[in-house]
Amino acid sequence: MVSWARSTLFHRLFSHRITFSVFVLTCFLLIVTAANYMEAKDRKDVTLSGIRLASWSLTQLRDEARSFDRQLVLMSTRLAKPEMLYVRYDILWSRFDYLLTSTESYAVRSVNDNVTRIESLFSQFKTLDAVVSRVSNGEYDERSLQLLKADWRALHKDINALVIENMVGGETGNLTEQFDKDLEQLAEMRTVLLILLAAGFVYFVFAILYLRRQFRKDPLTGLANRHYLEKKGSVSEQDLVIVCEIRDFQQVQTEHGGAEADQLIALCAKKLSECISSLDTLIHLSYGVFVIVKRDCRKAPEYVTSEVIACSSFDWEIANTSVPIRFVAGADPGEPDEEVSRPWQIRHQNALRALNHSLLNDHNFCIIDNELLSKFDFRAEVLGELVRFFRGEPTKISLSLVYQPIVQIDKQKTVAGAEVLLRAKLDNETFVPPNVIVDICERHGLGSKFGAWLFQKVGNEASQLFSVLRFQGFLSLNLNPSLINESLPEILKDTIVAAGVEPGHICLEITEDNASLDFDRTIPVIEQCRAMGVSIALDDFGTGYSSLEYLQHLRIDKLKVDRSFVNEIENSPARSQFLKGILDIAHQMGVSTVVEGIENQQQWDIVAEHRASFVQGYFAYKPMELADFLSILVDQLITGDAKAVKSNVSVFPG
């Protein structure tokens, strides 16, 4: 019973509301203490000599006010010289200014609301300037003089009140008493504030100790586990949420077993705990995955995340081997400008999205932002619409093909073929990049359906080229990874070949990335297609890591040189020579070449000098609808260039 009561008491005493209230109160006390200290420091700057000078200033103000008053009385008797009134007015003006600006009068200005009162009196005194000037110049009547006297009497009364309140008890009485009282009060207040602050800090110490006991521990690492987040449920927008994962952890598990993997998890937890402060939170979310909450993070999230990754990296010594252990991370920096903090589930999900982005792009870390969140939401919407599209259901997404002609290098406007590009739109407005379509399909099991749709679409459109124009060229199709399997020959027969295109007119284009997915699987599929009479091309040559190896192992008929090797070749002899080296290798292998990205005459001339076979780029033709492409070919036939129209129609989803 006592234990339960004590637990309930502690729970209430250290509840979030009370703890937050004490924290706010402590911050307020800190501010008040600082202000108290600064005010006491200012008071100490006032010396006894300063008080005496201040008293003298007030005495002079009083005496000059009396002199002005006497002069004004004499003006009614016509015995005084009018110009002397303005002299006294000017002297009194200087006394006001002296009280407000001089160092010697600082003590007067430091007491109560003297500054406000003196400024108010000075402002009222300034309003008399015009009347005093006219009186001094003899330009007045009895009524003006009486009004001046009336205004002055009220002002004179207030001046006397100011002097009396500050001078009662002797030359320095009231000022000295006031400063003594203030200093005494400040000392007493400072003592009370320090006691309250000490009590607040003691409270926080016990509160932290109590809260730490409530954390649920992970038995493997001794850290808080995923249930901590569920119970805590609060992450401030000023906090940085980082989700980090041991890179290639599944491979480590496979090679070293479960017990050793447990040991590695414990070591990683220790390393991560050394990379954060005591105020931060480290959670073992799942096997090999950790969550770090950097509290009230003021540094750049990129800097903090990279620092954590660098700090936590180490070499794991096991079984006479050394295994490099590295983390990959994703982070959500929060939105400090938001008044209401988002639930931790949202912050955690955003950090996981950033982690996923890092893994997919082989980055060390990624910081989620609005642009990336929009991309995730956009991809999710596109995925849903693609699922409906391939089911034949009503959908907001549309897929179509456009053609970009490929021309012979020796005949600039003679079309030798065309690359067929995928185009996608959402709601008939938003353009969806082709590589996004392919990537979504591949990652979500739609790759085969997309490939089948693409083959069927190409077969339907390409049949017009062969049946109407009697082309003797070939169609080149860029394969998405899911199509590179043993069923590819049958898919070709059931779609493109069934549409009336002979296998000898088909060329399959494989990018280096596709080939690198599974090199052993790619070669047998390619050889089966070769047996049908299909030719092979290697696309985007030079952008991967094993370009020459692919040339050696893949028996190809065409080589497409990526546009990255063409950019700026007209301004860089070194780049031009590098491109020439690639083309020379192709020539020595007996492979024809297609150079992509030609955009001006200078690039065209350089590529022609290097003996490329075909050229593709905006300088020749831009992508166009099928009808426009057919129109170009028909025009060439009409102009008598029918023999030049050997169509290489390349089909690419990107």
Structure tokens at 144: 């003006």
Taking the model in full, what pTM does it have?
0.59
* Cβ–Cβ under 8 Å, residues 543 and 564: yes
d(CA 421, CA 465) in angstroms, rounded, equals 16
Q: What average pLDDT does this structure show over 511-530?
A: 75
Question: What single-letter amino acid sits at 224?
Answer: A
Tens digit of each residue's pLDDT (9 = 90 or more) over 413-469:
778 888 888 999 998 889 999 989 998 998 888 988 998 899 999 888 888 777 777
Task: Label residue 544 by pLDDT band (50, 70, 90).
Answer: low
Residue 6's pLDDT is what? 44
Give the model's confidence band at 399: pLDDT under 50 very low, under 70 low, under 90 confident, else very high.
very high
Decide which of 226 and 348 is more confident: 348
Q: What is the residue whose two structure tokens read 């063409």?
A: 566
What's the topology of domain 48-171? Four Helix Bundle (Hemerythrin (Met), subunit A) (1.20.120)
> What secondary structure, in 3-state letters, does 461-498 show?
HHHHHHHHHCCCCEEEEECCHHHCCCCHHHHHHHHHHC
- Please choose, from the candidates 409, 383, 406, the residue with its C-alpha nearest in 3D space to the C-alpha of residue 396: 383
Cβ neighbour number for residue 162 with a 10 Å cutoff: 19
Question: Tokens 């004499």 sit at which residue?
Answer: 74
Residue 403: pLDDT band (50, 70, 90) is confident
CA distances from 120 to 108, 124, 162, 166 (A): 15, 6, 12, 17
* Cα separation, 618 vs 601, whole angstroms: 11
Asked if 512 contacts 559 with a C-beta cutoff of 8 angstroms, the reply is: no
Q: How many helices (H) and strands (E) does the chain have?
A: 23, 18
- Dihedral sign computed on CA atoms, order 126, 129, 131, 132: positive
Position 649 scores a pLDDT of: 52
Rounded average pLDDT over 471-481 = 78
pLDDT of residue 383: 94
CA-CA distance, 1 to 7, in Å (whole number)? 10
Contacts of 497 (CB under 8 A, 6+ apart): 459, 503, 506
**Superfamily for the 224-368 domain:** Reverse transcriptase/Diguanylate cyclase domain (3.30.70.270)
The backbone torsions φ and ψ at residue 636, rounded to the nearest 5 degrees and listed phi first, read -65, -40
Percent of the chain at pLDDT exceeding 90: 13
- Give the per-residue pLDDT at 644: 46
Q: Which residues contact 587 (CB under 8 A, 6 or more apart)?
A: 593, 611
Give the H or E element holding residue 260: helix 249-274
Determine the Cα–Cα distance for residues 357 and 375; give it in Å rounded to an integer. Answer: 11
pLDDT band at 170 (very low <50, low <70, confident <90, very high): very low
142-167 helix and 129-136 helix, angle to the nearest 10 degrees? 130
185, amino acid identity: Q
Q: Between these two residues, 3 and 483, which has the higher pLDDT value?
A: 483
241 contacts 347 by C-beta, under 8 angstroms: yes
Beta strands in 138-248 (DSSP E): 224-225, 240-246
Q: Per-residue pLDDT for 199 more than 80?
A: no
Percentages helix, strand, coil for the chain (3-state, rounded to 5) are 60, 15, 25
**Which H/E stretch holds residue 410?**
none
Residues 538 and 544: their CA atoms lie apart, in Å, by: 11
**Does 40 score more than 60 pLDDT?**
no
CATH number of the domain at 381-652, please? Answer: 3.20.20.450
How far is CA 528 from each of CA 436, 486, 490, 503, rounded to the nearest angstrom?
A: 30, 8, 10, 12
* Residues with Cβ within 8 Å of residue 627, at least 6 apart in sequence: none
> Quick check: 55 and 171 in contact, CB under 8 A?
yes
Q: Residue 135 contacts by C-beta under 8 Å, 6 or more apart in sequence?
A: 75, 82, 85, 144, 145, 148
Average pLDDT over residues 314-326: 84
pLDDT over 50 at 547, yes or no: yes
Best CA proximity match to 7, nearest among 188, 149, 213: 213
